[in-house]
A and B are shown apart, each in its own frame.
Chain A
């Protein structure tokens, strides 16, 4: 246990000293402000007419985010899609930086079990991704309040909060295999490239009707749960997500333990 605390301290210190977390927090602010800006345009048609391309997006807002339930659903979708990218970036950075900075060799032949080092890294990725979601969520509530959206009862806010939290947890879990890709690719390029392809494949899977069993499509499908027309994924989908997260952790552990580390 002492080893785990030590490794958590190490990983948190590395993270807090880096500029990357600050940049991702900025990214987390960008998302609610982006939604807020589009809501503002949608509510002010005279500005909307002058703004060309943005008008189309803002019109979409008028249709999709007219009240708290739909606004929170849209925000959860943001977590499932944009959040996915940011979580991938975070996880890739936590694991890939050891290869990029050449520091991997310094954490290999040490008396601390490798599994402890790996778990601390996953824990910090999850904490950091949660902080991202928390900051984003606070601003989502503030912006929703500023626009005085209808149907803002406590029950709706609570349901929306659960929706966003569960979406974030599932997104964090399905991002764990990208730690393995960062380790295999010895950096950020492979996981970030794979993230783009994965999002495309997730859309294809949903269209083809396999979304329930494609782990990276499940968080997005889950965000529909709050809508009257929405349908939650089945229990099997949640297992697929959990198993994907576990596979990411186990795969990364075995890679770090058994692959030749020549950097």
Chain B
């Protein structure tokens, strides 16, 4: 499969502040790649470097097989993007803002403006001044500008930001449709991790400017922490039984025993039998599976990911 985005030791420093460091990533054609990180992790700086808006201090970036440099014209005819908050000319209408975007991509036919207005359900607002739009519709306008010229690659910074739940679902379906039907590649950053889990095929986690991990969504399944939580009246006995049977356990707050090995998660019935036979029957068994949010927080070492 072709590589659409490739960076090699990409880095950006502002004096002593390291915004991005040694970032090497590859995004394959037709995939949805989610770029996760806290605020200030370096996501937007990376996207701006990929778009040739910021000059990297180190390394190189290639987009659609073109080396990115400041002020270059290639390959932007095939790239659509939405960086940070969507901005527009407030005194122009939605239609006029899109016409401006169309003229910035001269190969785009005039009919594309009407089509994208319909596709993004902006028809009721087409003649409304963009300055009077709600945050959600402003976001739609931003996405419409990115999609207007049928790009092969979409770079989207928080595409569902400010959208209502219906809008988020709509955005997800639109992106999935674009990748499945038109082979569009999507590189997106998002804070809505549940959304990323549903959408992305590949995930890159960035923290303090460094790429901590890159993994497929299938790998995430394997890496996610799973454990069996046991509540029992006789915690001491239960503990001894489980340790004797060779299980990796931990006693949590509220007198709950966490069995951390994968076997326990797959064979909770065996654990229950073991405890019953040993005289410490469980009163409650809970199968706990780490979600992307907890996995992300655990990886970057923030407390929310500790599950305790």
Q: Which residues of A are at the interface with B, using a C-beta cutoff of 8 A?
A: 2-3, 6-7, 9-10, 13-14, 17-19, 101-103, 105-114, 256-258, 260-262
| B145 and A110 contacting across the interface, CB-CB below 8 Å | no
Cβ distance B14 to chain A, nearest Cβ, rounded Å: 9
> Bound state CA distance, A216 and B77, in angstroms?
41
Query: What mask results when residues 164 to 187 of chain B are scored 1 for a CB within 8 Å of chain A, else 0?
Result: 000000000000000000000000
A105-B83, A257-B71, A261-B48 given. 14 additional CB < 8 A pairs? Answer: A7-B103, A14-B91, A14-B92, A14-B100, A17-B92, A101-B90, A106-B87, A108-B51, A108-B53, A109-B51, A111-B73, A112-B105, A262-B45, A262-B53
With A9-B103, A13-B96, A262-B54 as contacts: A101 and B89 at CB distance below 8 Å: yes
| B52 and A13 contacting across the interface, CB-CB below 8 Å | no
Q: Most chain-B CB neighbours within 10 Å: which of A6, A110, A114, A257?
A: A110
26 contacts between A and B (CB under 8 A): A2-B106, A6-B103, A7-B103, A13-B96, A13-B99, A13-B100, A14-B89, A14-B92, A17-B89, A18-B91, A101-B90, A102-B84, A102-B85, A106-B145, A107-B104, A108-B53, A109-B51, A109-B52, A109-B53, A109-B76, A109-B81, A110-B73, A110-B105, A111-B104, A260-B54, A260-B55
Q: Residue B274 at the A interface, CB < 8 A?
A: no
Which residues of chain A have C-beta atoms less than 8 A from B85's C-beta? 102
Of A13, A107, A258, which contacts B70 at CB under 8 A?
A258
Cβ distance B56 to chain A, nearest Cβ, rounded Å: 10
Q: Residue B1 at the A interface, CB < 8 A?
A: no
Q: Which 9 A-B pairs have the closest CB atoms?
A: A102-B87, A257-B71, A111-B77, A6-B103, A109-B51, A110-B104, A17-B91, A261-B53, A260-B54
Give B81's nearest chain A residue, CB to CB.
A109
Of A2, A101, A106, which contacts B101 at CB under 8 A?
A106
Which residues of chain A have C-beta atoms less than 8 A from B105's C-beta? 110-112
Which residues of chain B have C-beta atoms less than 8 A from A113's C-beta? 73
Cβ distance B59 to chain A, nearest Cβ, rounded Å: 15
Q: Residue B206 at the A interface, CB < 8 A?
A: no
| A105 and B53 contacting across the interface, CB-CB below 8 Å | yes
Cβ distance B240 to chain A, nearest Cβ, rounded Å: 60
| B87 and A101 contacting across the interface, CB-CB below 8 Å | yes
| B53 and A103 contacting across the interface, CB-CB below 8 Å | no
Q: Residue B88 at the A interface, CB < 8 A?
A: yes
Query: What mask results when residues 88 to 117 of chain B are scored 1 for a CB within 8 Å of chain A, else 0?
Result: 111110001001110111110000000000
| B: number of interface residues (CB 8 Å) | 34
| B79 and A109 contacting across the interface, CB-CB below 8 Å | yes
| Majority secondary structure of chain B interface residues (helix, strand, loop or mixed) | loop
| A260 and B96 contacting across the interface, CB-CB below 8 Å | no
| B92 and A13 contacting across the interface, CB-CB below 8 Å | yes
With A10-B100, A10-B103, A13-B96 as contacts: A257 and B70 at CB distance below 8 Å: yes
| A262 and B76 contacting across the interface, CB-CB below 8 Å | no
Which residues of chain A have C-beta atoms less than 8 A from B48's C-beta? 105, 261-262
> Bound state CA distance, A108 and B168, in angstroms?
28
Query: What mask results when residues 61 to 78 of chain B are scored 1 for a CB within 8 Å of chain A, else 0?
Result: 000000000110110110
Which residues of chain A have C-beta atoms less than 8 A from B106's C-beta? 2-3, 6, 111-112
Cβ distance A106 to chain B, nearest Cβ, rounded Å: 7
Cβ distance A222 to chain B, nearest Cβ, rounded Å: 36
Give A107's nearest chain B residue, CB to CB.
B104
> Bound state CA distance, A112 and B77, in angstroms?
9
> Bound state CA distance, A111 and B81, in angstroms?
13
Which residues of chain B have C-beta atoms less than 8 A from A106's C-beta? 87, 101, 104, 145
> Bound state CA distance, A151 and B292, in angstroms?
85
| B89 and A112 contacting across the interface, CB-CB below 8 Å | no
> Bound state CA distance, A14 and B91, in angstroms?
8
Which residues of chain B have C-beta atoms less than 8 A from A112's C-beta? 73, 104-106
* Interface set, chain B 24-64, CB cutoff 8 A to A: 45, 48, 51-55
Cβ distance A212 to chain B, nearest Cβ, rounded Å: 37
> Bound state CA distance, A111 and B52, in angstroms?
12
> Bound state CA distance, A6 and B71, in angstroms?
19
> Bound state CA distance, A111 and B66, in angstroms?
13
Which residues of chain A have C-beta atoms less than 8 A from B87's C-beta? 101-103, 105-106
Give A7's nearest chain B residue, CB to CB.
B103
Which residues of chain A have C-beta atoms less than 8 A from B84's C-beta? 102, 105
